[in-house]
A and B are shown apart, each in its own frame.
Chain A
Amino acid sequence: MKRIIVVGNGMVGYKFCEKLRKQGVAAEVIVYGEEPRPAYDRVHLTSFFSGKTAEDLLMAPASWYAEHHIVLHTGELVTEIDRQQKTITTHTGKTDRYDYLVLATGSSPFVPNVKGVERDGVFVYRTIEDLNQIIDYGKKVTRAAVLGGGLLGLEAGKALVDLGLETHIVEFAPRLMPRQLDEQGSVILQHKLSQLGIAVHLNKSTKEIAGNGKLDGLEFVDGSFLPIEMLVISAGIRPRDEVAKGCGLEVHPRGGVVVNDFLQTNDENIFAIGEVAVHNNMVYGLVAPGYEMADIVVRQIAGDFSKTFQGFDMSTKLKLMGVDVGSFGDALGETPGCIPIAFQDKHNGVYKRINISADGKYLLGGILVGDAKQYNLFHQMAANKMALPAQPESLIIGAPGKGEEGAGVKNLPDSAQICACENITKGDLVFQITEKGVKTLDDLKRSTKACTGCGGCTPMVNDILKITLESLGHTVKKSICEHFDYTRQELYDIVKIKNIKTYDALLDSHGKGDGCEVCKPLVASLLASAWNELIVSQATIQDTNDRFLANIQRGGTYSVVPRIAGGEITPQKLMAIGRIAEKYGLYTKITGGQRIDMFGARVDQLPEIWEELIDEGFESGHAYGKALRTIKSCVGSTWCRYGVQDSVSFAIYIEDRYKGLRAPHKLKGAVSGCIRECAEAQSKDFGIIATEKGWNLYVCGNGGSRPQHAKLLVTDVDTETCVKLVDRFLMFYIRTADPLTRTATWLNKMEGGLEYLRDVIVNDSLGIGEALEKEMAELIANYACEWKKVVEDPALRAQFKHFINEDSTDSTLSFVEMRGQKCPPDWNKK
C-alpha cells in the first residue's frame, strides 16, 4: 500500500483526507499538524466571539481520523524533507517515510517591518490561540485598531467591536478592500462601518508602533498619531514555504511553492495544495480553490488524471453581520472596453456596479455594497456568460422583487456552480432531487454537502429545491414537520372547528408518529390561542419556558418577570420586588420593556417566589411565552407639559386587556402621549400615539435584528374604536400568521399589504369583524394568572423539582460575582 504523508492539518489538509477516504483510495495516511488541535474551520473563526467554542469549529473530531484509519499527529511541526530518502523529520526528531507527500502548510499572517511590531498588545489574526490572546488582552484595554482594511481586516475589526472596544481600521490604500471595491463602494462601506462603531483611516502609512514595552499608539508618516492600546495586524498573508525551500523545491520569489496544473511541485512525488501553493503566479487566499486543489490531487492518486487546476474565480461576499458586500468577476472593470453601470443610494447606503462586456452581451463582474441579495445570481450570470436583458441597467436599478432571485435561478444552466466550497453545480442538486428523490434541504445538504462550508449558498440551494420540486409537480407545502401534513393556519381551523382541546387528540386524529420539538410547542400555542386554557395542564408539549412559566437561562436557572403594566409601579411594590429578590439571592435588572427581571432562580424556588409575589399583588408577566409582553408607555398628559392624552392609563388598560393572550409570536405594544413619541410606539406590533382629537393607531412594527417601523392604520379615532380595531387586528393575526412570525413579517408576506389589512380590519371587507371581536372577548374572559393557579395547586407545584426521587437541588449550579450581584459562569469554558 502507498504511504501518503500530509504536512499541515488545516482546512485544506483535512479536506484532502476527507476526499481521499470518500473516494475509497487504499493508502496509508499520516498527517502532521503543527497546531495543538485537529483542523478547524478558520473561515468562521470570528464566530468564536459570538459564542462558538473551539470544539464547535472542528472540521471533524479527533475520533474521525481514527475511524477513517488516518494517523494524526497534532502539535508536531515538520522541519525537514529528505527527497532522496523520501522521509520527513519533525521538531521532536521523529522521522517518517512517504511515497507521496502533500504539502498543505497554509500561510501565516504577513507582519510588515514597522518599528515596534514586537511590543505587547500587537497581535495577528489566524489561529484559535491568536483569538484567545486577543480576547484576554482585550479585557484590559478600551481602544484598539486593525492594521489593514482588506477582507480579513474588516472581520478582525468587527471582532474588536464585539469585544466592546473602541475600534479603528487603518489602511494604506486610499480605499477599503482595495482589491475588491472601487472608490464609491468603499465610501458606502465606510459609512456602514461607522454605524457599527468602526472608525476608518485611509491613506495612512504607519511609521512606528509607538510605546514603551506595550504600545500606546500608531505614528503615521504624515505626522498624525492615533492613540490605541491594542493592534491587530492584518496586512496580508505569506505562504509557509520554509520546509519546501529547505529541501530545494521551487518557490516563488514572493513566497509559495510553485505547482503545475496537476498541483505537482518540481518533485513529482510532492504536491502542494491550499494557501501554500502558487499556481500561475497566484496564491489563493480562500478555501474554495484549496478544496478544488485537494480534489484534483485525490483524483490523481486514485488514477484519474482527467481534471487539472485551471485557476479560480476570486469572487467574495463578506459575511459580517449588518454589512453586505459582494465583489465578483472583473469587479474593478479592468477588461478593455468594458462598460460600467453604477447605481448609488446614499440615503440607504446602497451601491451597485456592474461591468458589461464591450459588445453589451455579458456581465463581466461587479460590486454590491449595502444590498448583496443578488450576489449569487450575478456571480453565476457572469461565470456562465448568460445573456443579459435588453436593458442591463434594469438589473441594478429599481427594486428587485422577492420572486426575482427564484426566477433567476430557473434560468441558470446546469453547469452553474452553486456551492463554491464543495464545488456543487445546479445540475448536481437537480439530479439529487429528480433522480434520487431528495425532498428537503436537510437531505440535500447531507447527500451533496452543499451549504456545509460557508453557508452562503443556502438561499440559492433552497430556491433550486423549491423550483425543481414544483417542476416535478410536487406542491411545496409549508407543512410544519414530519408529524403533521398541515400548515399552522389549517391546524388552527381544525382545532377550532373540531373543538380539539389536547395535543394527543390532534395527533391521533390528524397526525402521525409521536410528535417532536417543532409540532408540540406549535400546537400548544394554537390551543392556547384558541381556548386560553391553563397551559401547564399539558406541560410536556410546551417549550421549556412555557413548561416552567419562566425563562431558562445559561446554567439552567430561570428568570422571574412579574407584570408591571405600562411600566407604572408603586413604591410598595418596588420594595416588595427588592425584598423578594434579596431573600432568594436573585440578580435584578430593569428590562428593555419597562419592567424588572429577577434572574438565577432554581426551578424548585419558582413556586415559592411566585407565591410571595402574588401575595404582594403581582401577576405573571408572560416574559416566557409567545404572548403579550409589555405595553410601554410614556408619562403622557398626567405629568408631561406636552402630553395631549393620558397615555399611561390607556397603556395600563390595554396591557390588562390582552395580558396572557397567546399568539404565533410575542406581541408588544406602546402608547405615547403626544407626537414626540417617547414610548417608541412605532417600533411595536401595535402602537398608539395621542393626537389632539384622539389616537393614531400604527401596526406591524418590530425591533429586533430587522427593525421595521409600524405603519399607520387609522388616524384620530376615539378610545373605543381604537380598542375595537386592536381586537380585530390581533385576532386576525392569531388566526392567519405562520408559526413564529412577528406581525411585521406577517404583513410583509401578506398579499395586498397594508391596503388589504386596512380593508379587513377597518372596512370589514371580509365581514368577519364582529366574529373577530367576539373571539377576542372570549379569550379575555378566560384569562387567569397561570402562576396563581400553579401556586394554589399542590400537584402542579410538585412539577417544579429538580429531582423526582429526592428533595436536594442541583449541585452543579454555580455562580460568579459581578458588580455586587451573581451571574452564571461563562459556558464556553466547559
Chain B
Amino acid sequence: MELLNDIRSLATTESDIKVWYKAARTIDFPENGGACVKYKDQQIAVFNFSRRNEWYACQNLCPHKMQMVLSRGMIGSAGEEPKVACPFHKKTFSLRNGECINATEEKLAVFPVKVEDGFVYIGFAR
C-alpha cells in the first residue's frame, strides 16, 4: 500500500510538471516494448510503442498482486486504446489513463513522456 501511495504522489498532469527527468536514450528501449526506469526510490515502466510512434510511462507495480513487473509486460491495443498486459496474470491496463481494462484492479499512476535529441524524459510532480 505504501508503495502505491508513494508512486501516486509523483504523478501529475501535463500542465504542472515540476521535473522532466532524463531517463535513457531512446535506442536503449526495445521496440514495441518496455523497460524499467528508476527515479528516486520509485520504479517507472516506460514503453516505446514504436508501431504508433508513441511513448508511455506508468508505475512498474502491478496492483493485482503488488508485483514490480509491468515494464516486462506485453503492449498492444484494445480498439484504439493502447494497453499493457501484466506478465503474471495478464490483467490489462490502459497506457493512456491507467484504468484496468479486463478486471477491476486499481488504476495505475501514469506519467507524461517526451522525447528530445534521442533521449526519453518523464514528467514528475516533484
Question: Are B76 and A556 interface neighbours, CB within 8 A?
Answer: no
Contact with A along B56-94 (1 / 0, CB 8 A): 000000000111110011111111001101011010100
Given A552-B88, A805-B37, A805-B38, decide whether A517 and B29 contact each other with a Cβ distance below 8 A: no
For chain A, the count of residues having a C-beta within 8 Å of the partner chain is 37
Question: Are A803 and B85 interface neighbours, CB within 8 A?
Answer: no
Question: Are B85 and A517 interface neighbours, CB within 8 A?
Answer: yes
Does A541 touch B at the CB level, under 8 Å? yes
Checking A515, A548, A804 against B76 with a beta-carbon cut-off of 8 angstroms, the contacting residue is A515
Does B126 touch A at the CB level, under 8 Å? no
A540 to B75, CA, bound (A): 8
Question: Are B74 and A520 interface neighbours, CB within 8 A?
Answer: yes
Residue of A nearest to B54 (CB): A514
Checking A513, A517, A808 against B38 with a beta-carbon cut-off of 8 angstroms, the contacting residue is A808
Chain B residues with Cβ below 8 Å from A544 are: 69, 72-74, 87
Given A540-B31, A804-B24, A805-B38, decide whether A520 and B76 contact each other with a Cβ distance below 8 A: yes
Residue of B nearest to A803 (CB): B38
Chain B residues with Cβ below 8 Å from A539 are: 30, 33
Chain A residues with Cβ below 8 Å from B83 are: 516
Does A428 touch B at the CB level, under 8 Å? no
Question: Are B67 and A515 interface neighbours, CB within 8 A?
Answer: no
Chain B residues with Cβ below 8 Å from A804 are: 23-24, 28-29, 35-37, 46
Does B12 touch A at the CB level, under 8 Å? no
Given A61-B104, A540-B31, A830-B1, decide whether A514 and B69 contact each other with a Cβ distance below 8 A: no
In this complex, which of B23, B35, B46, B92 has the most chain A Cβ atoms within 10 angstroms of its Cβ?
B35
A548 to B74, CA, bound (A): 13
Question: Are A540 and B104 interface neighbours, CB within 8 A?
Answer: no
Question: Are A806 and B38 interface neighbours, CB within 8 A?
Answer: yes
CB distance from B126 to the nearest CB of A (A): 18
A61 to B52, CA, bound (A): 35
In this complex, which of A514, A519, A544 has the most chain B Cβ atoms within 10 angstroms of its Cβ?
A514
Given A804-B35, A812-B68, decide whether A517 and B92 contact each other with a Cβ distance below 8 A: yes
Question: Are B69 and A552 interface neighbours, CB within 8 A?
Answer: yes
Task: For chain B, residues 1 to 57, give those with C-beta under 8 angstroms from any C-beta of chain A.
Answer: 1, 3, 23-24, 28-38, 41, 43, 46, 49, 51-52
Residue of A nearest to B4 (CB): A830
A540 to B31, CA, bound (A): 7
Chain B residues with Cβ below 8 Å from A718 are: none
Does A166 touch B at the CB level, under 8 Å? no
A519 to B78, CA, bound (A): 12
Does A482 touch B at the CB level, under 8 Å? yes
Chain A residues with Cβ below 8 Å from B33 are: 539-540
Task: For chain A, residues 103 to 138, give those with C-beta under 8 angstroms from any C-beta of chain B.
Answer: none
Checking A517, A556, A801, A811 against B74 with a beta-carbon cut-off of 8 angstroms, the contacting residue is A517
A537 to B29, CA, bound (A): 14
A518 to B37, CA, bound (A): 26
Given A540-B33, A803-B36, A827-B66, decide whether A517 and B76 contact each other with a Cβ distance below 8 A: yes
A599 to B43, CA, bound (A): 24
Does A379 touch B at the CB level, under 8 Å? no
Does A340 touch B at the CB level, under 8 Å? no
Chain B residues with Cβ below 8 Å from A541 are: 32, 74
Chain A residues with Cβ below 8 Å from B23 are: 804-805
Task: For chain A, residues 499 to 552, give those with C-beta under 8 angstroms from any C-beta of chain B.
Answer: 504, 513-517, 519-521, 539-541, 543-544, 547-548, 552
Chain A residues with Cβ below 8 Å from B65 are: 554, 827, 830
Checking B30, B37, B43, B92 against A810 with a beta-carbon cut-off of 8 angstroms, the contacting residue is B43
Chain A residues with Cβ below 8 Å from B38 are: 803, 805-806, 808
Checking B1, B67, B82 against A556 with a beta-carbon cut-off of 8 angstroms, the contacting residue is B67
Chain A residues with Cβ below 8 Å from B3 are: 812
Chain B residues with Cβ below 8 Å from A805 are: 23-24, 37-38
Chain A residues with Cβ below 8 Å from B79 are: 482, 513
Question: Are A514 and B30 interface neighbours, CB within 8 A?
Answer: no
Chain B residues with Cβ below 8 Å from A555 are: 67
Question: Are A504 and B51 interface neighbours, CB within 8 A?
Answer: yes
Closest 8 interchain pairs by CB?
A540-B33, A544-B87, A516-B76, A517-B85, A514-B77, A804-B35, A830-B66, A515-B76
Q: A517-B74, A805-B24, A827-B65 are in contact. List 8 more A-B contacts (CB 8 A).
A: A513-B76, A514-B76, A515-B32, A516-B76, A516-B77, A541-B74, A803-B38, A830-B1
Q: Which residues on B are within 8 Å of A, measured CB to CB?
A: 1, 3, 23-24, 28-38, 41, 43, 46, 49, 51-52, 65-69, 72-79, 82-83, 85, 87-88, 90, 92, 104
**Chain A to chain B contacts (Cβ below 8 Å), 21 pairs:** A513-B76, A515-B51, A515-B76, A515-B77, A516-B77, A516-B78, A517-B76, A520-B74, A540-B30, A540-B31, A544-B72, A548-B72, A552-B69, A803-B35, A803-B37, A804-B36, A810-B43, A810-B68, A812-B68, A827-B65, A827-B67
